[in-house]
Structure 1
Amino acid sequence: MMDFLIKSSVCLLLLLSIYQLFLEQEKMSIFNRFYLLGSLIFSLAIPFISFEIQIEAIKTVNLNAIEIFPSSSVIAEKKTNYLPISLWTIYGIITSIFAFRFCRNCYVFFRKINSNPTQKFEGATLILVEEKILPHTFLNYIFINKNDYENRKIEGELFTHELTHVRQKHTLDVLFIEILKTIFWFNPLLIFYKKAIQLNHEFLADEKVVISYNNVPFYQSLLLEKASWNSNFYLASNLNFLVTKKRLIMMTKTTSQSRALLKKLAVVPVLAGLVFISCSENVGDKTPAEAKVVEVKPGEKVEPNTLPETDIYTSVETLPEFPGGLEAFGKYVQKEFKIPEDFVGEGNVLVSFIVETDGSLSDIKVIKDLGFGTKEEALRMMSKSPKWSPGIQDGKPVRVAYNLPIRLKIT
């Protein structure tokens, strides 16, 4: 779970930074809309994407040859950890509150739709309400003041603006980001994504008005006049959403096709880099560049000066050993290995590592795990292991590659 949150948050932050620095100020709002939505989907999906990079693996001691556990396995005792239960309970309560707010606000809109007169208008449905409001849009519905509509006090530019929201289905974008905010309420980046998405919606609607009426000064003054209205509706597309200098400048700005194409293409290597960095996994354990694997057959003698400390052995006269032997290692596992709360079942977690000449462990990796966090726990436990008795070849400590199974059995 933590890996998912870290990877997705890093992607969200990077892609949003690219948008704000290089894309937002360019007049290519259609591309920007799908860039923002795609960034959200991409960032949530990338932790679940993986591909393998095959690299040469070092030759390790054969498990059957070692016979670490010839007749029994180390069985770790399960320990209850109440912290995850508490955290999930808190998450569930807060998420329920946000979900209730989301549903309540949707209900408010549908209640207005069902309790007020309606009027079909150019493919949309006008909802004529009594309260004094600015036009705003939710799904296929445009909410306007009934008196203003009947007395023809609503400018054509405002109708065009709201119809653009309807035809381009901007409410679906808002609902999507709001659902994400409900689930991932602890991630503040989604607040900035919502603002960027809604501001881009206004760029699109403003652009349609400018093309249709070709009177930028009048439209700008109209927006500034309406900006003083306090009518920002949750989940709706609002006429006066962020009437800022940035929005007014965008109405008169132009972006050349070549410049826009260049910036669009620049996004591709960024996405490719994120996929490669976040999703690639190394298969096998790569030997350090300066080391080589040495396999010594039983009874074979090797001159001491031919045993540099960088060599890694797969078979030696005296194998490395945990202090006190296998029985002591079993007790160490039972004491230190904290089985994740959700794990039930049995099987082996296979750990590989190198026992250095001083008995310390390096290059610790989990070759096989049982899921539910058993990999992370095995890595944590082995990293805390006391020093072993090093492997001996011809009377000299040498580096030895080692595989070690840890059997878990929880019913």
Structure 2
Amino acid sequence: MTAYLIRSGVCMVLLFGLYHLILRKEKLFSFSRFYLIFAVIFSLAVPFVSIPVEIGSGPAAVEIAEALNHIQPVNSGEYPEVTVQQNSIADETVFTEPAVTGSLPQPVQEQEGHGGIGVILLIIYLAGLALMSARFVKNVMVVRRMLLKSEKIEQSWYRIALLDGLSSPFSFLRTVFLDRQAYRKNRIPANVLRHELEHIRQAHSHDVIFFELMNMIFWFNPMLYLFGRAARINHEYLADDAVVRDSRDPETYEGELISFIRSRAIVPFTCGLNSSMIKDRLLMLNTVTSAAGRKIRMAAVTVMSVLLLTLLSLRPAYPDAQDDRNRKKLLRAEDIVIEEVNFSDPGFKPVKALMVIDGKPLSFSDTVVFDPGQVKTISVRQGRDAIRRHGRDAKGGAVEITTYQNDLKSDPDSNYFKPTWTVNNRVPEGPVRIPVSNFRTLSLWTYPVFPEQDRIRRWRIVDIMTRDYYQIRGKVIRKNGDPFPGVKVSSTGNPFTATSDKDGRFLLEDVGEDAVVTVTGEGCEPLYFRAFFRHDLKITLDKDSEPDFNLDSEGHLAVDFSGRWRCREMYGIPPVESEYIYYIRQYGSDSVLIRQSMKGKDGREYRSETVYAFNTIRRVKTEPMENVEVTVICSVSPDGRSFTGTTHRKSKIGLFEEYRTKNTWSMSDDQNQLIISSFVSQGTGPDKEKEQPDMVFERIREEE
């Protein structure tokens, strides 16, 4: 609202300045009348008009954006900025097709901060509006009472209302108010009566009502009073000009004008003779302007007004026209581009950041439902760009998601990117429900073109972290294995402390990523360690004993398989005519994404992708072979140093015997070799199982 008032106010000042400098003292009365009206209308409407302009993204562009949008500069540290950095290719490789989206009801948003000032300003505005409305109604009632008390004489296109003791004539709508005695005794000059009839014929009362309504609604804007006063003076000029054109003796009309308005009693809300304007009106009656001069002035005012309105309508084209340009910049980038929105600060307090689904901002109490395969586009807006699009509620940034169901215009991201969705470092296999209040961060990682990668579509990770991920849990025991209740568990940067229960269990939430955890028990030496997430901790505390803890790593990988790997041996034989490359992206200790690339001598490349979610059993669709049932089982070894993926294929109608493949993935001690051990079996019985020679891969270094 503040930006609207500033922009419309500036427009009014500039347009009134043109009138005052060029039109006020010239005989361009009809042009001036419509100019004053449309200047007010355009000034109130121009903030809603937007002409997008591409201005780039450098420091000068930021200054232009501030000037165009009248947004007060803010501390850049207040917003998360887009950072560009170059990471190890071996650590940052991702692949897959689009996956997830959400659809939510339209939220009810609440303004935070400055609420008291906003309420006070609203009360002041409503009080002023009530007073101005009362004044408007009072003026209407005054004219109505005068009309009811008068003697009315109907004419063809106007009406005469006769009143006793009326000092001078005036008009309102189609009624001329005259003094009864002066009218009966024929003491009202014909030119004066013709003057009032011109007000009626030219419908000047409609202009007066328009400006009175504007003054009532925008009572705090002094420019509207100046516009209204200028319009009233121009009405008198118009009526005088019409009378003089038809009069044979203009000097006689000037004398009648002076004698008739000496004792003018002003009636609000009407058109009539006014002694405060007499000097200006007499000067205007004797002003001479050439036809050429009038045309030049009208052309100059028109051109300058259009230029001013155009300049005030310019907007930076970040959200709309420039989106495609920004996307092209991403496609040409040579480094990893990270765009991130934080939904809570380092202390886990919510910040003003928005999640927008199909154009509907979600409230803090809403829930985002991610449905794999339905996201069409996802984009991150930050800083001034987010504020300009979504207001101050997006001060910390905004995430915009559109779905195929509701977005019929924009190009899908799948034309440009191959996104992978992760939630808490894990690739989701199905729909995901996340309350907005549980969002911690959402970031987009867009990767450069690698030598073996699709050069049309970039890899991209859509990474979501939730608040409930950042918690530590476990059990505190004594040296003899008994639970240890009452132990205090705290972390740096977190004002809360968890206490172990009677079973020794504890849970501490909102723990920082690099926080140091402190465990203290009565009479025991405190234990310090860096926070671990998604693991159960087993902590041993006892008197006269060294404190200790270990991770419950069952079902979790203890090593990281991420990287690029080149095949050295394919089932015991070096590959000769083909090159095999594996791209592996591991998400914590919960899941891994593997993309296989095989390039033959003819240069053709064949790709496939596999996602392993550890300790899960899932069924895989096998279209168009609907009669084949495929089950994938993934498990992690007890020591956490390898994982096994077992695939069962079974014909529902008995076309073939059950077929099973088991691949175990492990690494050498120096983690520079990837070893895949395979077993294949068809049918049942131990004699049906056949061990395959190992596949051996070497890690591809970054410099390669």
Task: Provide the rounded CA distance (Å) in 1 between the counterparts of 2:116 and 2:279.
Answer: 52
CA shift, 1:274, in A, is 2.2
Q: Which moved more, 1:364-373 or 1:235-244?
A: 364-373
- Counterpart in the other structure of 1:234: 268
3-state secondary structure, aligned to 2:160: strand
Kindly tell me: are residues 218 and 378 of structure 1, through their superposed partners in 2, closer, same or farther at Cα, counting changes over 3 Å?
farther
- Counterpart in the other structure of 2:144: 110
Q: Say yes or no: does 1:262 pair with 2:281.
A: no
Task: Provide the rounded CA distance (Å) in 1 between the counterparts of 2:206 and 2:124.
Answer: 29
- Counterpart in the other structure of 2:336: 315
3-state secondary structure, aligned to 1:128: strand
1:274-285, aligned counterparts within 5 Å? 274-284=308-318
Kindly tell me: are residues 332 and 190 of structure 1, through their superposed partners in 2, closer, same or farther at Cα, counting changes over 3 Å?
farther
Q: What residue identity is the alignment partner of 1:46?
A: V
Q: What residue identity is the alignment partner of 1:219?
A: Y
Q: What residue identity is the alignment partner of 2:42?
A: F
Q: Say yes or no: does 1:27 pair with 2:51.
A: no
What CA deviation, in whole Å up to 9, does each residue of 1:12-39 have, x standing for no partner?
1111111111111111101110011110
Kindly tell me: are residues 77 and 48 of structure 1, through their superposed partners in 2, closer, same or farther at Cα, counting changes over 3 Å?
closer
- Counterpart in the other structure of 2:215: 181
Q: Say yes or no: does 1:219 pair with 2:253.
A: yes
Task: Provide the rounded CA distance (Å) in 1 between the counterparts of 2:295 and 2:194.
Answer: 29
The answer as to whether partners of 1:351 and 1:378 remain within 8 angstroms in 2 is no
CA shift, 1:57, in A, is 7.1
3-state secondary structure, aligned to 2:316: strand
Q: Say yes or no: does 1:345 pair with 2:363.
A: yes
Gaps of 5+ in 2: 59-81, 85-91, 95-99, 101-108, 323-328, 355-360, 369-377, 398-461, 467-704
Count of aligned pairs? 341
Task: Provide the rounded CA distance (Å) in 1 between the counterparts of 2:164 and 2:389.
Answer: 62
What CA deviation, in whole Å up to 9, does each residue of 1:169-220 have, x standing for no partner?
0000000000000000001111111110000000001111111213222222
3-state secondary structure, aligned to 1:329: coil
Q: What residue identity is the alignment partner of 2:49?
A: I
Task: Provide the rounded CA distance (Å) in 1 between the counterparts of 2:304 and 2:83.
Answer: 41
3-state secondary structure, aligned to 1:11: helix
Q: Say yes or no: does 1:365 pair with 2:381.
A: no
Task: Provide the rounded CA distance (Å) in 1 between the counterparts of 2:288 and 2:312.
Answer: 36
3-state secondary structure, aligned to 1:345: coil
- Counterpart in the other structure of 1:210: 244
Q: What residue identity is the alignment partner of 2:345?
A: F
Task: Provide the rounded CA distance (Å) in 1 between the counterparts of 2:291 and 2:343.
Answer: 73
What CA deviation, in whole Å up to 9, does each residue of 1:46-78 have, x standing for no partner?
1111122246679x779x999xxx9xxxxx997
- Counterpart in the other structure of 1:397: none
The answer as to whether partners of 2:4 and 2:47 remain within 8 angstroms in 1 is yes
The answer as to whether partners of 1:55 and 1:283 remain within 8 angstroms in 2 is yes
Match of 1:331 among 347, 350, 355: 347
Task: Provide the rounded CA distance (Å) in 2 between the counterparts of 1:207 and 1:272.
Answer: 29
Kindly tell me: are residues 84 and 313 of structure 1, through their superposed partners in 2, closer, same or farther at Cα, counting changes over 3 Å?
farther
Match of 2:122 among 88, 111, 115: 88
RMSD: 4.2
Q: What residue identity is the alignment partner of 1:366?
A: D
Kindly tell me: are residues 352 and 134 of structure 1, through their superposed partners in 2, closer, same or farther at Cα, counting changes over 3 Å?
same
TM-score scaled by length of structure 1: 0.71
CA shift, 1:158, in A, is 0.7
1:352-391, aligned counterparts within 5 Å? 364-367=383-386, 371=390, 373-375=392-394, 377-378=395-396
Higher helix residue share: 1
The answer as to whether partners of 1:199 and 1:242 remain within 8 angstroms in 2 is no
Q: Which moved more, 1:236-245 or 1:9-18?
A: 236-245
Q: Which moved more, 1:250-259 or 1:25-34?
A: 250-259
1:265-304, aligned counterparts within 5 Å? 265-284=299-318
Asked which structure has the greater CA Rg, the reply is 2
The answer as to whether partners of 1:352 and 1:404 remain within 8 angstroms in 2 is no
CA shift, 1:330, in A, is 4.8
Gaps of 5+ in 1: 71-75, 287-292, 297-311, 354-363, 380-402
3-state secondary structure, aligned to 1:275: helix
CA shift, 1:159, in A, is 0.6
RCO greater where, 1 or 2, for CA within 8 Å and sep 6 or more? Answer: 1
Q: Which moved more, 1:2-11 or 1:168-177?
A: 2-11
- Counterpart in the other structure of 1:395: none
Q: Which moved more, 1:240-249 or 1:170-179?
A: 240-249
Q: What residue identity is the alignment partner of 1:125?
A: R
- Counterpart in the other structure of 1:200: 234
Kindly tell me: are residues 365 and 167 of structure 1, through their superposed partners in 2, closer, same or farther at Cα, counting changes over 3 Å?
same
Task: Provide the rounded CA distance (Å) in 2 between the counterparts of 1:19 and 1:271.
Answer: 10
The answer as to whether partners of 1:351 and 1:404 remain within 8 angstroms in 2 is no
Match of 2:282 among 233, 245, 248: 248
- Counterpart in the other structure of 2:206: 172
The answer as to whether partners of 1:226 and 1:240 remain within 8 angstroms in 2 is no
TM-score scaled by length of structure 2: 0.43
Task: Provide the rounded CA distance (Å) in 1 between the counterparts of 2:93 and 2:311.
Answer: 37
3-state secondary structure, aligned to 1:144: strand
Task: Provide the rounded CA distance (Å) in 2 between the counterparts of 1:315 and 1:344.
Answer: 29
Q: Which moved more, 1:113-122 or 1:343-352?
A: 343-352
Kindly tell me: are residues 183 and 405 of structure 1, through their superposed partners in 2, closer, same or farther at Cα, counting changes over 3 Å?
farther
Kindly tell me: are residues 98 and 278 of structure 1, through their superposed partners in 2, closer, same or farther at Cα, counting changes over 3 Å?
same
CA shift, 1:332, in A, is 6.8
Higher strand residue share: 2
Q: What residue identity is the alignment partner of 1:200?
A: N
The answer as to whether partners of 2:11 and 2:43 remain within 8 angstroms in 1 is yes
The answer as to whether partners of 1:224 and 1:243 remain within 8 angstroms in 2 is no
- Counterpart in the other structure of 1:390: none
Task: Provide the rounded CA distance (Å) in 1 between the counterparts of 2:9 and 2:18.
Answer: 14
What CA deviation, in whole Å up to 9, does each residue of 1:248-276 have, x standing for no partner?
12112222221111111112332222232
3-state secondary structure, aligned to 1:366: helix
Task: Provide the rounded CA distance (Å) in 2 between the counterparts of 1:345 and 1:327.
Answer: 12
- Counterpart in the other structure of 1:123: 157
Task: Provide the rounded CA distance (Å) in 1 between the counterparts of 2:391 and 2:198.
Answer: 48
Task: Provide the rounded CA distance (Å) in 2 between the counterparts of 1:98 and 1:338.
Answer: 39
The answer as to whether partners of 1:95 and 1:182 remain within 8 angstroms in 2 is yes
Q: What residue identity is the alignment partner of 1:345?
A: S
Kindly tell me: are residues 378 and 262 of structure 1, through their superposed partners in 2, closer, same or farther at Cα, counting changes over 3 Å?
farther
The answer as to whether partners of 1:78 and 1:338 remain within 8 angstroms in 2 is no
The answer as to whether partners of 1:350 and 1:406 remain within 8 angstroms in 2 is no
Task: Provide the rounded CA distance (Å) in 2 between the counterparts of 1:195 and 1:369.
Answer: 36
What CA deviation, in whole Å up to 9, does each residue of 1:305-328 have, x standing for no partner?
xxxxxxx97417xx7999xxx797
